[in-house]
Amino acid sequence: MPAVTASPAAKDKSGPQRALEKLGLVRPIDFALHLPMRYEDETRLVSIASLRDGSVGQVEGVVASCEVQIRGRRQLVARLHDGSDDLVLRFLHFYPSHQKALAVGTRVRVRGEARGGFFGLEMVHPTFKAVTEGAPLATALTPVYPTSAQLPQAYLRKAMDANLARVDLSELLPPEAVPAGMMNLREALMFLHHPAPNVGLATLEDRSHPAWQRLKFEELLAQQLSQLQAKRERELQRAPPFRVRNGGLQEQLLAALPFALTKAQRRVVDEIAHDLQRAVPMHRLLQGDVGSGKTVVAAVAAAVAIHDGWQCALMAPTEILAEQHLRKLVGWLEPLGITVAWLTGSRKGKGRAAMLAQVASGEAMLVVGTHAVIQEQVQFAKLGLAIIDEQHRFGVQQRLALREKLRSNQIEPHTLMMSATPIPRTLAMTLFADLDVSTIDELPPGRTPVVTKLFADDKREAVIGRIRDAVAQGQQVYWVCPLIEESETLDLQNATETHAHLSAALPERMVGLLHGRMKATEKAAVMALFTAGEMAVLVSTTVIEVGVDVPNASLMVIEHAERFGLSQLHQLRGRVGRGTVASVCVLLYTAPLSDTGKARLKAMLETGDGFEIARRDLDIRGPGEFMGARQSGAPLLRFADLAEDEALVHLARDAATLLLDRHPEVALAHVNRWLGGRSDYLKA
């Protein structure tokens, strides 16, 4: 054989090859897990006469005519005859090769959707291939794979079959880890790529077929394993075990509060205190509906750390929110002799330098702020506890920076995350399986539930009438304008106009405006006026969304409510109903509503329960968007559906525990098979 020198170009990957990689199809297992999005039935032939308008079918016949016609545009029109009737095949884009393949007298098999055209039935752009009479039909359904423009289906199918022929799908799991009655993986995957023709397509499409069950179980198992593994790794790290003493700062704090903790608050305080006394870093999520009183729980945790001589950092995603925490915490903790430092991006110069020095020396025991708290220049003398409010609102970069910051010490601090967006149970068990969760499931006493009303935008003046009544009775009002994604300017304009309109409608009252473009000091000034009760109405963009606490505000109007997400609406509504006066939330909408818009507003009218809201939100949006879904961009679950597969989640969780305990090498092999190099994204 003559020696062949490969030209440099030959070494380059071909277009389709690159397209495969782009789809993540590299290892044979990647191919095996790239499942058809639908199937075509090429196992049967029907007669042309039996085709109906709109029906999809495969016919076989002989080409009776084939010509290029100009009807407005050039098109290739062939006529097929099978003895029962004629069928027109129409191609609006075609190559000379099409013309050749459809030469008069050729026998072809054609598959497509029949349309009742002016000249009888026709198929536009059907798939077709030349056959000899009596050529065997497909014995399995033909898979149609998700693909990209650079990757023709035929090329992908070929690559698929080559990879399916050599993929190792041997059973990794010991029998005791596989739920009774499940198909094995090889059988399941081979079936899903080439299902037998007699299978009900419905069970494939709704993913209830046993083959799907096995696949979903495998996927959930990989995910449970990596989460449990992360948790076990953390168990090996060292954190300062705080000593909780009688008469300690936390007891002094509780004694000084103007209210008693609710039963739920006491329970979560106990759960947190229990963690803080261990030498293993706490990794706990404190969830509780808006207004359930998470801040005071954070303060108690801080007091425990500080009493034992450790520093505590509390971070919030926005300056307004951080400042509100600051005010509360200073009010509660400074009287007990605790020095509190304040760090935000807008804090510069001498004040900042002094704060940094206090933090570095350990004089400041509590540091409150935005993500500025974790910036490089900030050095803690002895950080023992980090509290992160609404952590999912921090960007990925900030969260990674935080992890780095916390890791840089020999000793890991305990971490407490707080969220007003409750995680539905299935999500808590899957995406967040490595978190311990404490839940405040009770509101402080004396709150009256918020009444929610829905009005079309043309009832605006009537709504303004209500505002007039409310302020006449000394109550305060929020008016929230939506964020217009495409245009911050429009957004601002809208809020500014509404502000002007309300100011004119309520000449004797102070109407304020708050938006994201204002300087931190300006925002703080507006908030201070509103908090003090001097400002009757606050028009704002969504900057007030998280955590603002003004108990005297009892009416909230949300303009263009249909543009907000469900959990966002719920958070906003949670700004009222914090005092003893009955509160109202008015949702103004502009027709027409989309289906999801309708579903969201309906949910708001029907329930005030944060958990129910979260569950519906999961239904409406899917888990992908939930809590930023760890914002990895990578789809966390390709096959399992958390809303439907809760039973499988339980099975996977049991199997994961069993594997890690008894067959760690199998656990590793399984995670590698499923996640390859991607397992890190589960931890960010």
Interface pattern 550-569 for ligand ADP (x via CB under 6 A): -x------------------
Query: CA-CA distance, 195 to 58, in Å (whole number)?
Result: 18
Closest of 526, 493, 491 to residue 511, by C-alpha: 526
Structure tokens, 507: 């000449």
Answer for the pair 234, 294: CB distance below 8 angstroms, yes or no: no
C-beta neighbour count of 292 within 10 angstroms: 25
Sheet of 436-440: strands edge to edge? 340-343, 366-369, 311-315, 383-389, 414-419, 283-288, 436-440
Contacting range for Mg ion; rule: CB under 5 A; set: 126-134, 178-186, 364-372, 540-548:
540-548
| Residue 547 contacts ligand ADP per CB under 6 A | yes
Site for ligand ADP in 165-184 (CB under 6 A): none
Among 85, 113, 549, 646, binds ligand ADP (CB under 6 A): 549
Position 547 contacts Mg ion (CB under 5 A): yes
CB closer to Mg ion, 547 vs 623: 547
User: Does residue number 317 form part of the binding site for Mg ion (CB under 5 A)?
Assistant: no
Q: Which amino acid type is present at position 586? A: V
Q: Is 444 in the site for ligand ADP (CB under 6 A)?
A: yes
Least distance to Mg ion, CB of residue 297, Å: 10
Give the gyration radius of the chain's Cα atoms. 32
Choose one: 15-23, 160-168, 403-411, 547-555; the region binding Mg ion (CB under 5 A).
547-555
Nearer to ligand ADP, 356 or 443 (CB): 443
Q: Which is nearer to ligand ADP, 215 or 314 (CB)?
A: 314
Among 541, 595, 596, 561, which residue's Cα sits nearest to residue 452? 561
Measured from the CB atom, the residue of 266 and 650 that comes closer to ligand ADP is: 266
Q: Does 608 bind ligand ADP (CB under 6 A)?
A: no
Helix (H) or strand (E) run with residue 587 in it: strand 584-589
**Residue 265 touching ligand ADP (CB under 6 A):** yes
* Cα gap 158→164, rounded to integer Å: 10
Interacting partner of 476 out of ligand ADP, Mg ion, none (Cβ under 5 to 8 A depending on kind): none
Closer to Mg ion by Cβ: residue 512 or 547:
547
CA distance 538 to 556: 10
Site string for ligand ADP, 294-333 (x = CB under 6 A): xxx-------------------------------------
CB of 418 to ligand ADP, least distance (A): 7
Shortest distance, position 416 Cβ to Mg ion, whole Å: 13
* Residue closer to ligand ADP (CB basis): 78 or 286: 286
261 lines the binding site for ligand ADP (CB under 6 A): yes
Cβ distance to ligand ADP smaller for residue 288 or 384: 288
> Least distance to Mg ion from the beta carbon of 613, Å?
17
Pick the closer one to ligand ADP by CB: 288 or 413.
288
- Stated as kind and residue range, the H or E segment containing 288 is strand 283-288
User: Which residue in 303, 305, 298, 278 sits closest to 385, CA to CA?
Assistant: 305
Nearest to 62 by CA among 81, 88, 86: 81
Backbone φ and ψ for 667, nearest 5 degrees, come out as -55, -45
> Which one of the spans 159-167, 288-296, 353-361, 403-411 is the region binding ligand ADP (CB under 6 A)?
288-296
Rounded Cα–Cα distance for residues 119 and 143 (Å): 32
Residue 294 or 307: the one with the smaller Cβ distance to ligand ADP is 294
| Segment holding 224, helix H or strand E | helix 210-235
| Candidate segments 119-127, 293-301, 640-648, 661-669, binder of ligand ADP by CB under 6 A | 293-301
The H or E element spanning position 257 is none
Going by their DSSP bridges, the two strands 86-91 and 436-440 should be labelled as unpaired
Phi, psi of 134 (to 5 degrees): 80, 5
Binding mask 231-260 for ligand ADP (x = CB under 6 A): ----------------------------x-
295 vs 568, which CB is nearer to ligand ADP? 295
Residue closer to ligand ADP, measured from CB, 33 or 290: 290
3-class secondary structure for 115-175?
Answer: EEECCEEEEECCEEEECCCCCCCCCCCEEECCCCCCCCHHHHHHHHHHHHHHCCCCCCCCH
Residue (296 or 429) nearer to ligand ADP, CB: 296
- Residue 293 binds which entry of Mg ion, ligand ADP, none, with Cβ cut-offs from 5 to 8 Å by kind? ligand ADP
77 Cβ neighbours under 8 A, 6+ residues apart: 66, 67, 68, 69, 88, 89, 90, 91
216 with 639: CB under 8 angstroms?
yes
Candidate list 57, 61, 281, 288; residue touching ligand ADP; CB under 6 A = 288
Q: Total residues at the site for Mg ion (CB under 5 A)?
A: 1
Helix axis angle, 520-531 to 319-333, nearest 10°? 60
Q: Which residue has the tokens 């103004």?
A: 588
State both tokens at 318.
């926005």
| Piece in contact with Mg ion (CB under 5 A), picked from 100-108, 546-554, 566-574, 656-664 | 546-554
Residues forming the site for Mg ion (CB under 5 A): 547
Residues forming the site for ligand ADP (CB under 6 A): 259, 261-262, 265, 288, 290-296, 420, 444, 547, 549, 551, 578
